[in-house]
Amino acid sequence: MSTVSTTLHRVGDRFRSLPRPAKLALAVLAVLLVYLLPIINPPLITTTDSDFGAVLFSCAMYALVAIGLNIVIGYAGLLDLGYIGFFAVGAFTVGVLGSQHGKLPLLLCIPAAMAVTMVSGVLLGAPTLRVRGDYLAIVTLGFGEIIRLVLVNTNWLGASRGISNIPSPPSIDLFGVPHLVWNGAVASIDLGNETRFLQFSVTDSIPFYWLTLTIVLVVLFLDWLMQNSRVGRAWEATREDEDAAELMGVPTFRFKLLAFATGAAIGGLSGALFATKQAFINPDNFTIIYSVLFVAMVVVGGQGNRWGVVLAAALLTWAPEKFRFLSDARFLLFGMALMALAIFRPQGLLPPRRTVRAKQADEETEVLEEGVAHA
Amino acid sequence: MDLLLTHFWELTITGLAIGAVYSLVALGYTLVYGVLRLINFAHSEVFMWGSFAAVWVLMAAGAGKASGLGLAGYLILGLVAAMAVSAIVALLLEFVAYRPLRKRNSPPLIALISAIGASFTLSELMGLRDKPLKWFNASGLQDYLGRPRENLPFPLQVETKRLFYVFNYHVSNIDVIVLVSAIVMMVILDQFIKRSRLGRGIRAVAQDPEAAALMGVNRDRVIRLTFLIGGLMAGAAAMMYLLKIGVTRYNAGFILGVKAFTAAVLGGIGNLRGALLGGFILGVAENYGSALFGSNWKDVVAFVLLVVILLFRPTGLLGESLGKARA
């Protein structure tokens, strides 16, 4: 396990030390490869029992969720166990505005969904962020469940039937992209099976995957900007020592609220994407267990490292689909894997560098202190 | 509103009975939190395993309709089985999921992940309980297993008898059994923590683990003890849950666990009496809420109550006494 992450870190180092044009070229190549994954259908990675395009869409969508939750948990250090609530608010805002009670086009629905979730994040955060960490966990858990129960019990929101006919993004039909088929190690082009470039429909998930992936990349960039700004430093200070941060003049409460609202908006955005891809949502899509899974993604990936959480989100979404032949046992295995990970790799798959350094420093002081105690 | 007024006493008493179940499970959360500062997310599965143990033992004993002495015998048998299995599962949980983490001084959030993993594992093991049957070709056990993802009914049927009136509600024997046995158990536990040597150890570790260690308290033993007590109480709660609800299933623990944890937080986590108070308040409030707004809104009432109480008393109703001092 640890060799995996040192290798990943080493790859990161090697990448950083390259000259600029090479860096750019490599990055473009990697991104292109990720975009083309559903077309290439790589033999070992592709899922045989479920539509690979749909699985990739889920991976990208959950990666977005994990980026959002990483802001709340990883940067600001707030344990949020009700993230599915924001996801649901986003999805249902799109449903209500686009289908149930209005005919707004999707491109207006999505910003509206983000705005509504942001407001709901502030409304939840303003009273609750003052309580201590462990309490926040249970309050948010309660919030997630309240949202679901409200959805189940409110006729205006479709009650347990949910909302159908959610609009798709506008399509522009430009050209078709044929898929590859693999026969052992030999690939051939399957002309009968092609994806129309940017034709959003229920039958083909790949355009939705492209859309979501694009959004993920944009959000990753914004996330990077944010973390390296004054805001990011304020979050870090608040997470490490709230009292000290407050004394240094950081308005910790306001920054916690900002983290909460930003995380909520990203959660709402992913919920909105989920709604348009599915075209049909009902409260069963938003059970509390997802909140737990989301937290697992962030912690497994290494809280605070955006690439780590993206990787973990994709992995935790893809693995159950890939190993669908294990059918019933996959959640059992998932549970055992989480336990094993917590025991053998407590810092997550890809911990942020700062954590690694801080831990080393901690260990050094510990050794020093013990030396004093023994003397 | 009418419903609430006319059935006020019925709602109160049945609410107290289900609240007793919450309280007993909440004790497990609160004890572990007090000593380890850990949300034992898998505690709900400890409860669930206990409920299955009770069902199976009573099936094997051929329990059906019962009254009088026979009923008492079955009740005790089921209670002992549930408590024993829950305690064993709780100790195993501590050994497999938490002790290795403690040895490595992992950050608290990681313990939560381990707890979530353990919770999945325990509940899925029960959800897949028919699989080993196929390997061992023991189809005779089919009746015991039921359908693994469906409800498993409680075999013991207690004839409902109305015993006495509390104002206009005719209290049933089940309410009395549940409430009395829960309260007896709580009093025993409270006195144990308060007066016994082991109880003093638990309080010491909760207050200051390092000072306690210096005074010669064996921390590992105290932690095992808290898991053991939590398991025993969860087992007792499982038996009472079965008496009240009548079925169990592989994921029965989840919602109950969330409720019980809510109860623990409501009363002030780490505080034993707080957990008891929180459980009862939650049970009763839920009943009132469902009478006022319809039973669909029962859980919403519970959580809104929690949020409101935390806003005005951020450390719960009774504060965090068992392991205060450290913030």
Mean pLDDT computed over B314-319: 79
Q: Report the pLDDT value the prediction gives residue A372, as an integer from 0 to 100.
A: 55
pLDDT tens sequence across B101-129: 888 877 777 888 888 889 989 988 988 88
- Whether residue A142 and residue B262 make contact (CB cut-off 8 A), yes or no, is yes
List of residues 6+ apart from A138 with CB closer than 8 A:
A81, B39, B261, B262, B265, B306
Residue A4 has pLDDT above 70, yes or no: no
DSSP annotation of A178 reads E
Task: Using a CB–CB cutoff of 8 Å, tell me whether A299 touches chain B.
Answer: yes
Task: Using a CB–CB cutoff of 8 Å, tell me whether A143 touches chain B.
Answer: yes
Q: Pick the range with the lowest mean pLDDT from A219-228, B141-150, B194-203.
A: B141-150
Question: In CATH, what is the architecture of B2-130+171-312?
Answer: Orthogonal Bundle (1.10)
Residue B87 has pLDDT above 90, yes or no: yes
How many beta-carbon contacts under 8 Å exist across A and B?
130
3-state secondary structure of A188: strand
Amino acid residing at A227:
Q
Q: Report the pLDDT value the prediction gives residue B169, as an integer from 0 to 100.
A: 77
Q: Pick the range with the lowest mean pLDDT from A53-57, A321-325, B57-61, B286-290.
A: A321-325
pLDDT > 70: percent of chain A: 93
A314 vs A135, residue with greater confidence: A314
Residue A196 has pLDDT above 80, yes or no: no
pLDDT tens sequence across B283-313: 999 999 888 888 888 888 888 888 788 778 8
pLDDT category of residue B278 using cuts at 50, 70 and 90: very high
Q: Report the pLDDT value the prediction gives residue A140, as an integer from 0 to 100.
A: 86
Calculate how close chain B gets to A146, using CA atoms only, in Å. 5
Mean pLDDT computed over A162-182: 81
Q: Counting beta carbons within 10 angstroms of the beta carbon of residue B174, is it exposed (0 to 12), middle (13 to 18) or buried (19 or more)?
A: middle
- Whether residue A139 and residue B110 make contact (CB cut-off 8 A), yes or no, is no
Question: How far apart, in Å, are the Cα atoms of B189 and each of B9, B192, B237, B272?
Answer: 28, 5, 14, 9
Question: Do A169 and A158 touch, CB atoms closer than 8 A?
Answer: no
Calculate how close chain A gets to B184, using CA atoms only, in Å. 29
CA atoms within 13 A on the CB side of B245: 20
Q: Which residues, in sequence order, are bridge partners of residue A182?
A: A187
Q: Which residues, in sequence order, are bridge partners of residue A163?
A: A281
Q: Report the pLDDT value the prediction gives residue A5, as an integer from 0 to 100.
A: 66
Q: Within a 10 A sphere around the Cβ of A285, how many other Cβ atoms? A: 19
Mean pLDDT computed over A186-205: 76
3-state secondary structure of B147: coil
- Distance spanning both ends of chain B, measured CA to CA: 42
Residues, chain A? 375
- Whether residue B307 and residue A127 make contact (CB cut-off 8 A), yes or no, is yes
Of B117, B128, B254, the CB nearest to A328: B128
Q: Which residues of B touch A343 (CB under 8 A)?
A: 97, 100-101, 104, 114
pLDDT tens sequence across A218-277: 999 999 999 889 999 999 888 888 888 889 988 989 999 999 999 999 999 999 999 999
pLDDT tens sequence across A278-303: 888 988 888 878 888 888 888 888 88
Q: Which residues of B194-232 are buried (b: 16+ CB within 10 A; e: fewer)?
A: eeeeebebbbbbbbebeebeeeebebeebbbbbbbbbbb
A38 vs B78, residue with greater confidence: B78
pLDDT category of residue A190 using cuts at 50, 70 and 90: confident
Q: Report the pLDDT value the prediction gives residue B323, as an integer from 0 to 100.
A: 47
Q: Report the pLDDT value the prediction gives residue A365, as an integer from 0 to 100.
A: 76
Best of B43, B109, B311 to mutate (most A CBs within 10 Å, chain A) = B109
Question: How far apart, in Å, are the Cα atoms of A33 and each of A43, A63, A210, B80, B289?
Answer: 15, 17, 12, 60, 55
Mean pLDDT computed over A8-26: 82
Q: What are the helix and strand counts (H, E) for chain B?
A: 15, 6
Q: Report the pLDDT value the prediction gives residue B68, as an integer from 0 to 100.
A: 76
- Whether residue B296 and residue A300 make contact (CB cut-off 8 A), yes or no, is no
ipTM score: 0.84
Nearest to A214 by CA among A226, A231, A193, A198: A198
Q: Pick the range with the lowest mean pLDDT from A185-194, B67-76, B105-114.
A: A185-194
pLDDT tens sequence across B159-178: 777 777 777 777 888 888 89
Q: Report the pLDDT value the prediction gives residue A84, as an integer from 0 to 100.
A: 93
Q: Report the pLDDT value the prediction gives residue A350, as an integer from 0 to 100.
A: 77
> How far apart, in whole angstroms, are the C-alpha atoms of residue A129 and residue B12?
33
pTM assigned to the model: 0.81
Residues, chain B? 327
Mean pLDDT computed over A350-358: 70
The residue in chain A having the minimum alpha-carbon distance to the alpha carbon of residue B124 is A332
Q: Report the pLDDT value the prediction gives residue B214, as an integer from 0 to 100.
A: 92
Mean pLDDT computed over A170-195: 76
Q: Which residues of B touch A130 (CB under 8 A)?
A: 314
| CATH class as words, domain A49-374 | mainly alpha
Mean pLDDT computed over A326-343: 79
pLDDT tens sequence across B20-29: 999 999 999 9
> How far apart, in whole angstroms, are the C-alpha atoms of residue A345 and residue A336?
13
Calculate how close chain A gets to B173, using CA atoms only, in Å. 33
Nearest to B275 by CA among B68, B20, B91: B20
Q: What are phi and psi of B152, to 5 degrees?
A: -110, 120
pLDDT category of residue A126 using cuts at 50, 70 and 90: confident
> How far apart, in whole angstroms, are the C-alpha atoms of residue B165 and residue B8?
13
Q: Report the pLDDT value the prediction gives residue B326, as an integer from 0 to 100.
A: 36
Please state the domain extents for chain A: 49-374
Query: Judged by CB atoms within 8 Å, which residues 56-95 of A form the interface with B?
Result: 73, 79
A184: left (phi over 0), alpha (psi -120 to 50) or beta: left
Of A132, A142, A340, the CB nearest to B306: A142
Q: Report the pLDDT value the prediction gives residue A64, as an integer from 0 to 100.
A: 94
Structure tokens at A227: 């973390």
pLDDT category of residue B322 using cuts at 50, 70 and 90: low
Q: Report the pLDDT value the prediction gives residue A375, as an integer from 0 to 100.
A: 43
Q: Report the pLDDT value the prediction gives residue B23, as an integer from 0 to 100.
A: 94
DSSP annotation of B297 reads G
